[in-house]
Each structure stands twice: as structure tokens, then as C-alpha cells.
Chains A and B, each alone.
Chain A
Amino acid sequence: MKLNRKKIYEKINERLLLICGLISIIAVLSITIFIFSKGIPAIKEIGLKEFIFGEEWQPTGGRFGLYPMIVGSLYVTLGAVMIGVPIGILTAVFISELAPKRVASFYRRLVELLAGIPSVVYGFFGLATIVPAIDLIFGGGGNSLLAASIILGIMILPTVISISETSIKSVPMELREGSLALGASDIYTIFKVLIPAARSGILASIVLAIGRAIGETMAVILVAGNTPLIPKALAERIRTLTANIALEMGYAYGLHQNALFATGVILFVFIIVLNILLMKFNKKVGENK
């Protein structure tokens, strides 16, 4: 009798836990469905070609060309990667291979802290320090592609550092010792043995960093200037896909609002592509082991 009741509890418990597990799936599906079902009709109405390659974004005039924002997002992401990735990977190398134990653990906490700082604080920090500096050097107010790239470059550091460090560290000791035993220096070992061996993990960290940069909103809005035009120079203003949504969502309605959902669709497509890349690298990481 009592044992039976235990069995029933067991079953109920398992079902409840299963439902908890299902919620992730439900959430992803409903987010995807909602964004696409609002965005796709708008893209149809505007025309896919006009929407993606049109260079004019004037909601009041009925012009919904997203091209400047697509270019803007790609530019800032590229800029962020060029700044953040080399510094990030080399810092990861430092933590994993060169730093004494205590320094390494201090750095890990530093990186955790960097990851925890809210994006709006990064944005405000950029607005208060980097934007005036750029204004001083290049003129033009300072709100720019360059400012956004620098801030995003800083923001992706923790992602690049922590994942690269983990994958460099997980390179088997024998490889390290094998190389050192042949008389290779530590630096030679790092660049010729460890980094190539940790390649998949490092690439995964870069893909994740790209995802973070392309999806970032508040920090970018505060420093990018947000003009929906294709920038011709580093110190010019730009607007990203994310900023496009956040800036206009508050007051948009009708086709304009749906065009913003359609902007979300384009952003989503980028994220899906990145996810597929990531899966590929993760699979490789698994195979290496």
C-alpha cells in the first residue's frame, strides 16, 4: 500500500519534471513563431528585395529599406571582433599558460566581473569617455561606428577569454610536454601546438562573441549615433538592426511596427546561422576529445 503510493509519487514527479524540460522547447518555438508571423507579412508587403537592399528608411514616407542597418550591424560586429578577439585570445593564453596560479585566478574573477556588468552601463561608460575622445580626435560629435566597435569589442572580451581559456587548458598535458621535451620554447608551444589544438573551442568563442555583438542593443544605441545611413568612415554615425527596433518600437504602429518585427526576423536569421556554425564547432570539440 505504502509502496504503491511511493510509486505513484515517483510517476507524478517524473511527469512534472518532464513538463519543466518541455518549457524550453515551447519558449523557443513560440518566440520564433511570433516574430516570424508578425514579420513575414511585412516583408511581403514591402518586398524582400526592397526591404533588404533598399537604402532608405523613412517610416513616415512609407520607405522601409533595411540595408543601412544590415551593413551597420555587420560593420560594428566586424569592428568588435577585430578589437576584442586578438586581445581576448592572448589574454586567455596568458591566464592559461603564463600567469602564476594566483594571478590566473584573479584574472578569472576579473573576467567574470566584466561579463556581469550590464550592457547599459557599458553604453553609458562609452558615452562618457570614448565618444568625447573620438570627437576630440576626429570631430563630428564622436557618436560613431568606431565608438560602437570599441565598446562592443570590450563587451565580447569575457566571452572570448573564458571559452578560449577553457579550450586551451583542456589541451592534453602530453601535447604540451611533448613539445617542450623536444626543446621547443613555451611561446613556440603556445602558438604552434596549443592554439592549433584548441582551434575548435577558440572558433566557438568567436562565434559566440559575434552573436553577442550583433545582438547587443542598449550599449550600441548610446554610442552609435543611430543615423540610418551607410557609414563612409569610422567616425561616422551608424544604426544597427537592434537599435532600429529599440528606438522606434515605442511609438510604431501598423506596417511600421510590423517592419520592426521584420527587422527582428533578419536579426533572427543571423543568429540561426551563427547557431549552426556553433553546433559545427561544438561537434568538432567533441570529436577531438
Chain B
Amino acid sequence: MRITKKGEENLRLYIYISALITLGIVLWILGHILINGIIKVDWKVALEDKAILPSLINTFYIVLLSVLITAPIGIGAAIYLNEYAKEGKFVSLIRYSTQSLAGIPSIIFGLFGMIFFVTNLKLKWSILSGALTLSIMILPIIIRTTEEALKTVPITLKEGSLALGASKIETIYKVILPTALPGIMVSIILSVGRVIGETAAVYLTAGMVPRLASSIFDSGRTLSVHLYILAKEGISFELAYFTASILIIFILIINIISNCLGKIVNKKLKGN
């Protein structure tokens, strides 16, 4: 089948229009939220919201806890897959599980966390239940991104270390991991972003009370749950814009950091 000259020009036009739509959408979302949430917002009203600061701190707790739980496990799994495992049924089972985990909707994680951590383990609605649930959610992110980072370490470095009489474990911890460190940091940063933005899973496991959790066994809402409730209950659009702006700013910061880390990786491996 042929495409006519006219058809070609139309197709080209569609491509440019689509690209413009994508650009427009991003600018529209960011612009709309940030303008209403930061520039136009009445700061008096915004700062009177007694739930924002506690939600922010609760979010911080959950981020810290879930990353502390998952980072060692995920990085360990990635090292195992990349350095020790021989390709075979068992390894493909791990890979398939990781891939499946990444595809499970967050509400399912929420259901699981609620039945397992909240009810069965009797952790109740708490920061800990939320963090444990999110730990499982971010596991595939950390495993995959770390594995990619480990793969970029040239085999010649590994052999260079082995040839000096270093054992495998020394080679891994003294040469491979330090070289892949920026990439591993990216995996952590990405999962921080995921935890900050997650709502469905965390609201079924950490609860919704608008206060600062007194300990990790206490319940408390995160920033994104706060935004959800503000919007869903129609409490205040002004506060919702403000909260959404804070979330967006976090995401912007995370994007900038992970891009910088990416540049460091290139620098490290290519020299200068």
C-alpha cells in the first residue's frame, strides 16, 4: 500500500500535534497546580491547615522506614541475580516474580497489607503497617534499577580486581558496588518518589487520622492521603492545591536528583 504525498504531510502533522499535546499536558498540569497552589494561594489559609505538617512528617517516617527495609533486600537480590545466579529456572522465577510484583495494582497491595500486617500481625492501622506494605511495592523498583546499574559496571573492572587476588565478595563490595553507587542511589530516589505519591495502599494500612503519629505503631495520614481527603470530601480546594503543590515540588526535586546522578554515572565510567 502506498501513502500519498498528502497523506504523508497529514501524518507528519499528527506527529507534531501529538508531541505538542504531550508538552501541553505537562505544562498544563504543572502550571495549573503550582499557580493555584503557590502563587495564588492565600498563605494565611494554607498555613492554618493543622494537618499538613503532621502529614508531611508521617510521610517522611513512612519513606524512611520503607526504604530502610527494602533497600538492603532489593540491592541484595540484584547482586544475587547479577553476580551469583546462574541462568536457569530458579533465576527466571525470581525475575518473573519481580516483574509480576511491579504489575500488581496498588489497591491489591493495600488489601494484602490490611489483611496481613494490619489484621493478622496485629500491627493495626499504623505507620509500620503502611511502611511494610509499601516496602513490598518498591521492591521491584529497587531490584530492577540496581540490576541495571550493576550491569553497567564493565567486566574488565571485575576481572582486574580478581586478577589481583581479590575474592568475589571483595570484588563486589569494593569495586562493583562503589562503581554502581550513583545508579543504586537512583533506585532509592525513584522508590522514595513512589512512596511519597502512593495513596491507595497507604490509606488502607496506615489510616487517615489527621495527626502526627506518636510512634511507628501509631496511625497517621500521609500527605497524599491528606490531598485525597481534601479533594474527595470537598473540604477545601485551596488547601488541596497547596498540598498538591508540595507533592509536585517533591517530585520535581526527585527528578532533578536522579538526572544528576545519571550524569555522575556517565562521568565515572568514562572519565572526566
Contact = CB atoms under 8 A, between A and B. Distances in A.
A79 interface: no
A118 to B, nearest CB: 3
B174 to A, nearest CB: 13
Contact of B105 (A93, A113, A120, A242): A242
Interface stretch (A47-55, A133-141, A264-272): A264-272
Given A25-B97, A109-B259, A124-B227, A117 B112 contact: no
Interface stretch (B16-24, B148-156, B175-183): B16-24
A161 interface: yes
Contacts of B29: 117, 121-122, 125, 154
Residue among A13, A19, A188, A242 having the largest count of chain B Cβ atoms under 10 Å: A13
B40 to A, nearest CB: 13
A22 to B, nearest CB: 7
B3 A188 contact: yes
Given A27-B139, A125-B33, A94 B97 contact: no
A264 B12 CA distance: 43
The binding surface of chain A is classed by DSSP as helix
Contact of B84 (A17, A88, A118, A187): A17
Contacts of A157: 22, 25
Given A34-B112, A117-B29, A99 B19 contact: yes
Nearest to B170: A6
Given A24-B98, A264-B108, A218 B200 contact: yes
Interface stretch (A57-65, A169-177, A209-217, A231-239): A209-217
B88 interface: no
A272 to B, nearest CB: 8
Contact of A13 (B17, B93, B169, B240): B169
Contacts of B101: 24, 27-28
A187 B16 contact: no
B104 A31 contact: yes
5 interchain residue pairs of minimum CB distance: A215-B105, A118-B197, A20-B76, A90-B18, A17-B80
Given A21-B76, A125-B32, A125-B244, 12 more contacts: A10-B168, A14-B80, A17-B77, A17-B79, A24-B101, A31-B112, A98-B15, A109-B255, A117-B197, A120-B228, A121-B247, A188-B3
